[in-house]
Chain A
Amino acid sequence: MCGAKAGGPDLAGVDVASETIIQGSVTRDGEPISGYVRLLDGGGEFTAEVPTSATGQFRFFAAPGTWTLRALVPGATVDRTVVAQQGAAADVAIAV
């Protein structure tokens, strides 16, 4: 698989209006990288974790508020803060 898609996975078939979506991609030097993304709540507590897809993408169904995304890949850990709201997917590009 070459070339990372910007942003998170395609939202076709997802009920965006009723969900609070946080999604995005993890790349190294512009290429998708396989690893894991954790979602931590406002208190820093683990809420969920997913492996990245073959195109480096990930998605969470959260609740409105401020969250931290933590990308775990071989040799690196990167945190990003994100504000999520219902009805509009928050897209986060994480370069490691």
Chain B
Amino acid sequence: MSRSDVLVDADWVQSHIDDPKVVIVEVDEDTSAYEKNHIRNAVRIDWKSDLQDPVRRDFVDQAGFEALLSAKGIGNDDTVVLYGGNNNWFASYAYWYFKLYGHDSVKLLDGGRKKWELDSRDLVVEVPERAATTYKAKEQDTSIRAYRDDAVAAINTLNLVDVRSPDEFSGKLLAPAHLPQEQSQRPGHIPSARNIPWSKNANDDGTFKSDEELTKLYQDENVDLAKDTIAYCRIGERSALTWFVLHELLDQPNVKNYDGSWTEYGSLVGVPIELGANA
């Protein structure tokens, strides 16, 4: 894998908008954004109603993912290009799902919806029609997914990268500041985690920094990439972006996203929690 295999720019998308083997998919935190407008020929995946189990806290299972992609008209041999708002937080989260279920060719649009808008590129309201497919998902690749026990076992042993903002890490805030702050879990972070906010991976316009800048970022923060790494945030979407940087852009093999993240860890009984800023 290299950057050009997993990341495309707006010009690339523009020139593949009518390519029948390329499916452009918008995934937004604000799931109504697609209804306002979207890139022409883009379909929508709703990160909440499409990707989560409706009852338990977990993902849609393999059969559910197959049904979803079949209904969206995505084939196993299609190239999927994901983009979204919030600097691609939820598009990165969807990217990680596609990889979890073994989709071969999936890419992110660098800068996502924001860069596309700031460049004043065209957005439309027409919803494309794609014929249904018979999609076959693979079993979950758990080499890229961490669970709560992995997070606890990683304390003082593996790299734990907390990608939330410094105020969430220290315990001052419980959620990103565009959301209300009343939450049930305890504030703070997993002991021994390094706070490397997801935003340090990106420029103001949402595009990713260069491989050289990204490598230096993690080296300067003393992340020993020879060791396994677990990234987490609040619900696993921002850490999916950091997972994308480490695993896909920088080609580090032993990186997992802990999707339970702080809303799970901060609610566990008896686990250690640390307060305060990065040491």
A residues whose Cβ falls under 8 Å from a Cβ of B: 14-15, 18-20, 22, 34-36, 38-39, 41, 43, 45-51, 59-63, 70, 72-74, 77
Number of A-B contacts (CB under 8 A): 72
Distance (Å) between the CB of A91 and the closest chain B CB? 16
Closest to A63 in B: B172
Instruction: Assess A39 versus B166: contact at CB under 8 Å? Given A45-B199, A49-B86, A73-B118.
Output: no
Closest 3 CB pairs of A and B: A46-B199, A48-B177, A48-B178
B222 within 8 A of A: no
Cα–Cα, bound, A38→B87 (Å): 11
> Is B166 touching A60 in the complex (CB atoms < 8 A)?
no
Q: What residues of chain B lie closer than 8 Å to A63, measured between beta carbons?
A: 167, 172-173, 177, 181
- Taking a contact as CB atoms closer than 8 A, the residue among B86, B178, B204 that contacts A60 in the complex is B178
B residues whose Cβ falls under 8 Å from a Cβ of A: 30, 33, 85-87, 114, 117-120, 165-167, 172-173, 175-182, 197, 199, 204-205
Instruction: Assess A45 versus B30: contact at CB under 8 Å? Given A51-B85, A61-B181.
Output: no
Cα–Cα, bound, A72→B107 (Å): 25
Q: What residues of chain A lie closer than 8 Å to B173, measured between beta carbons?
A: 47, 62-63
Distance (Å) between the CB of B279 and the closest chain A CB? 16
Majority SS of interface residues in chain A? strand
Q: What residues of chain B lie closer than 8 Å to A48, measured between beta carbons?
A: 165, 176-178
Q: What residues of chain A lie closer than 8 Å to B167, measured between beta carbons?
A: 41, 47, 63
Q: What residues of chain B lie closer than 8 Å to A41, measured between beta carbons?
A: 165-167
Q: What residues of chain B lie closer than 8 Å to A49, measured between beta carbons?
A: 86-87, 178
Q: What residues of chain A lie closer than 8 Å to B118, measured between beta carbons?
A: 35-36, 72-74
> Is A72 touching B204 in the complex (CB atoms < 8 A)?
yes
> Is B176 touching A51 in the complex (CB atoms < 8 A)?
no
Task: Write 9 A-B pairs (CB below 8 A) sorted by A numbering.
Answer: A41-B167, A43-B166, A46-B165, A48-B165, A48-B178, A49-B86, A61-B177, A63-B181, A74-B117
Closest to B175 in A: A61
